[in-house]
Amino acid sequence: MTKRAPFIVIEGLDRSGKTTQIETIRQRIQNSGRDVVCIKFPDRATPIGQMIDSYLRSQSDLDDHVVHLLFSANRWELASTIISYLNQGKIVLCDRYAFSGIAFSVAKSLPTEVESPPSDLPPITLPWARAPDASLPAPDLTLFLDIAPQVARVRGGYGEERYEKEDLQRRVRSVFGEIGREMSGEDRKWVVVDAGLSLSAVSQEIWGYVEPLLDGLDSSVGRLWT
Ligand code: TMP
């Protein structure tokens, strides 16, 4: 049986240096002579992605549950493509995945210092948030680039999009911590990287986790939450 390529996800808070690190890994993988494909969620190019984009840029308003399901649907749109890349031996490097979906949606439902208007709908909990992504292709490695929101702010400030606020980022970080505690078992499929270190230190650490996967895997692609 020929080996399939690994599915590698990079997660992190806004301003954690994700984009730069992904480009560095992509180049290193390519230099090693392997095929690599970069994908990114949300994929704003699809019709669902365009709805998400309009919401994130505050050009439309949607209930939090609806947005959550759109983000998940946006991943399902690419699910079979991801599997097909992996089976063709192409390493898939993915910028954000279902973990961002859970972290941001649950964080929005956590209590804030500012009183928000009461809602008729229930808050988004971890089990509710996880459900729509169940059975999506599971990453073989997820690198979570961790950075304190106040350090991220000093790095250059947040952008103008809906979630780029320090208070929300703080709550997102705490939900990511919870997801990480559930995910980090013996198999090292979830790794926390200190993104507050220098770019080269971070990329060196990341490479230490990526390199052992480059020769491919014998197992078939896993499914999320199983
Ligand atoms: P981006 O800045 O990486 O394009 O992501 C846009 C925002 O969308 C970012 O603040 C994280 C958020 N997000 C979710 O809320 N749910 C999701 O499922 C994903 C993939 C991203």
**Rounded CA separation 10/142 (Å):** 6
pLDDT, tens digit (0-9, with 9 covering 90-100), for 102-152: 999 999 999 886 666 667 899 999 999 999 999 999 999 999 999 988 888
Q: Domain containing 120: what range?
A: 7-213
Residue 55 CB less than 6 A away from ligand 1: no
CB-CB contact of 99 with 145 (8 Å):
no
Is 221 domain-assigned?
Answer: no
CB-CB contact of 150 with 103 (8 Å):
no
What integer pLDDT is reported at residue 123 of this predicted model?
Answer: 95
Is 158 domain-assigned?
Answer: yes
Q: Which atom of ligand 1 is nearest to the CA of 71?
A: 18
Asked if the model's pLDDT at residue 186 lies above 70, the reply is no
Q: Give me Rg for the CA atoms of the chain.
A: 17
Q: Measure 141 CA to ligand 1 centroid, in angstroms.
A: 19
pLDDT, tens digit (0-9, with 9 covering 90-100), for 14-73: 889 999 999 999 999 999 999 999 999 999 999 999 999 999 999 999 999 999 999 999
Is 226 domain-assigned?
Answer: no
What integer pLDDT is reported at residue 158 of this predicted model?
Answer: 79
Is 218 domain-assigned?
Answer: no
Is 51 domain-assigned?
Answer: yes
Q: Measure 173 CA to ligand 1 centroid, in angstroms.
A: 13
Residue 100 CB less than 6 A away from ligand 1: yes
Q: Phi and psi (nearest 5°) for 65?
A: -65, -40
What integer pLDDT is reported at residue 156 of this predicted model?
Answer: 77
Residue 158 CB less than 6 A away from ligand 1: no
Is 223 domain-assigned?
Answer: no
Which two three-digit tokens encode residue 20?
Answer: 């730069």
| CATH (domain of 82) | 3.40.50.300
Question: Taking residues 202-208, what's their average pLDDT?
Answer: 98
Domains held by the chain: number = 1
Helix/strand/coil percentages in the chain, nearest 5: 45, 15, 40
pLDDT, tens digit (0-9, with 9 covering 90-100), for 84-96: 999 999 999 999 9
Q: What is the ipTM of this complex?
A: 0.99
What integer pLDDT is reported at residue 157 of this predicted model?
Answer: 72
Residue 99 CB less than 6 A away from ligand 1: no
What integer pLDDT is reported at residue 115 of this predicted model?
Answer: 63
Asked if the model's pLDDT at residue 178 lies above 90, the reply is yes
Is 81 domain-assigned?
Answer: yes
Is 77 domain-assigned?
Answer: yes
Closest C-alpha to ligand 1, atom 16: 101
Residue 56 CB less than 6 A away from ligand 1: yes
